[in-house]
Each structure stands twice: as C-alpha cells, then as structure tokens.
C-alpha cells in the first residue's frame, strides 16, 4: 500500500507553515529596519507594521494549532533515529511557544506604555489593563528581542534539518511540507 499521501501534510497545514515562515522573516527584517530607521518617525511607522504583522502571525499560529487538533500531523518516518525524533518534537514545541509568547509580550509591553496595537487599520487590540511602566516595557522589549534571536536560531536549525534530510539522507522529508515532490514512505 502506498502511504505517501499519509506522510504529506495537508494543504492547509502547508499553507499555514509557509505563511508563518514568511511572516517571521518579514518580522525580522521589519525589526531591523525599525531599529536602523533614518528618523524616529520612520522608525515608529516601521515598528507599527512590525506590531501589526506580529498579531497576524499570532493568529496564523493559533489557526495552525487549531488545525492540528482537527487534523493531526502525519507520522514521522519510522527510520528516524531517536535523537532526530526528539529534536523534531522539541524544535516544533519551541517554535509554538516563541511564536505565541513573542507577540503577547509585545502587546503587553505596548500596554505598559499605555498603547494598544493597531493592526493595519483593520482592527485594534486595546491596551491591556496594566500599570504604566516604561522601564518595565523596555525590559520586556529586550526579552522580546532576545526571543527573536532565539527564534531565528531555531529557524536556522530547522532549515539545517531540512537540508540534512534532503541532501544527506535523501529521504524526501522536505516534500512532506511541499505540495510537490515525493516523501519517502
């Protein structure tokens, strides 16, 4: 029996995966651009887009988690080593934690400045009912930035794993998350 379709992620999971990946890359570039903006006004505008996109990424991650409840992930290949299974599960768990905590921390920090988060003018998250604390907000943004670096390192590890499976193991694992190619059974 051919179990290739059972090893491939459903198209909804693929779309959410790649939209989140694109969002994370865009978030990284927006944060760097905002920090290096030519003026404070330009920096605020860029960071406004960063905050907006952060909410969109959070919604996509929550949609991805909801989808996983309805449609569990296909099983990992049976020939993976125990350390590969553990690393895959740990990496994905850390991704979800960071991708949920980071935007919530950003919203919390903005609330400590007394600001909500406008999401591209479509809707706004109001400021959370927390005490004003600019120093605390700044510290939270520092942790948020450190988590961003951790997220980028984790993404690098994820990419290295995909490359290992594609170029070294040649097991077709990458094609589980693509609508073309052939994942190995």
Provide the pLDDT for residue 27. Answer: 98
**Is residue 43 one of the residues assigned to a domain?**
yes
Query: What distance lies between CA 28 and its chain's CA centroid?
Result: 11
**Is residue 38 one of the residues assigned to a domain?**
yes
Domain of residue 82: give its range: 4-177
DSSP 155: H
Q: How far apart are CA 114 and CA 127, in angstroms?
A: 6
Q: Pick from 15, 50, 12, 13: which is nearest to 31 by CA?
A: 50
**Is residue 183 one of the residues assigned to a domain?**
no
**Is residue 184 one of the residues assigned to a domain?**
no
DSSP 63-128: HHHHHHHHSPPPPPPTT--HHHHHHHHHHHHHHHHHHHHHHHHHHHHHHHTT--EEETTTEEEPPP
Q: Is the pLDDT score of 1 beyond 70?
A: no
Q: Is the pLDDT score of 67 beyond 80?
A: yes
Q: Is the pLDDT score of 12 beyond 50?
A: yes
**Is residue 85 one of the residues assigned to a domain?**
yes
Q: Is the pLDDT score of 33 beyond 70?
A: yes
Percent of all residues in the chain with a pLDDT value above 90, rounded to a whole number: 83
Q: How far apart are CA 145 and CA 92, in angstroms?
A: 20
Q: Is the pLDDT score of 157 beyond 80?
A: yes
Q: How many domains does the chain have?
A: 1
**Is residue 185 one of the residues assigned to a domain?**
no
For range 76-91, the mean pLDDT: 91
DSSP 71-88: SPPPPPPTT--HHHHHHH
For the stretch 118-138, pLDDT in tens is 999 999 999 999 999 999 999
Percent of all residues in the chain with a pLDDT value above 70, rounded to a whole number: 96
Q: Is the pLDDT score of 5 beyond 70?
A: no
Q: What is the CATH number of the domain that holds 89?
A: 1.20.950
């Amino acid at each position: 029996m051919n179990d290739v379709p059972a090893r491939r992620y459903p198209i909804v999971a693929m779309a959410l995966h790649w939209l989140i990946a694109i969002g994370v890359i865009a978030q990284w570039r927006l944060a760097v651009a905002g920090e290096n903006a030519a003026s404070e006004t330009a920096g605020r505008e860029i960071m406004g887009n960063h905050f907006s996109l952060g909410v969109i990424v959070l919604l996509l991650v929550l949609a991805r988690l909801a989808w996983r409840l309805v449609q569990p992930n296909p099983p990992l290949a049976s020939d993976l080593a125990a350390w590969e299974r553990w690393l895959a599960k740990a990496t994905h768990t850390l991704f979800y934690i960071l991708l949920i905590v980071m935007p919530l921390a950003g919203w919390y920090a903005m609330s400590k400045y007394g600001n909500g988060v406008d999401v591209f003018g479509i809707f706004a998250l109001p400021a959370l009912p927390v005490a004003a604390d600019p120093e605390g907000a700044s510290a939270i943004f520092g942790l948020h930035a450190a988590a961003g670096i951790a997220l980028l390192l984790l993404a690098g590890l994820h990419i290295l794993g995909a490359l290992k499976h594609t170029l070294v193991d040649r097991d077709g694992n990458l094609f589980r998350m693509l609508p073309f190619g052939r994942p190995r059974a």
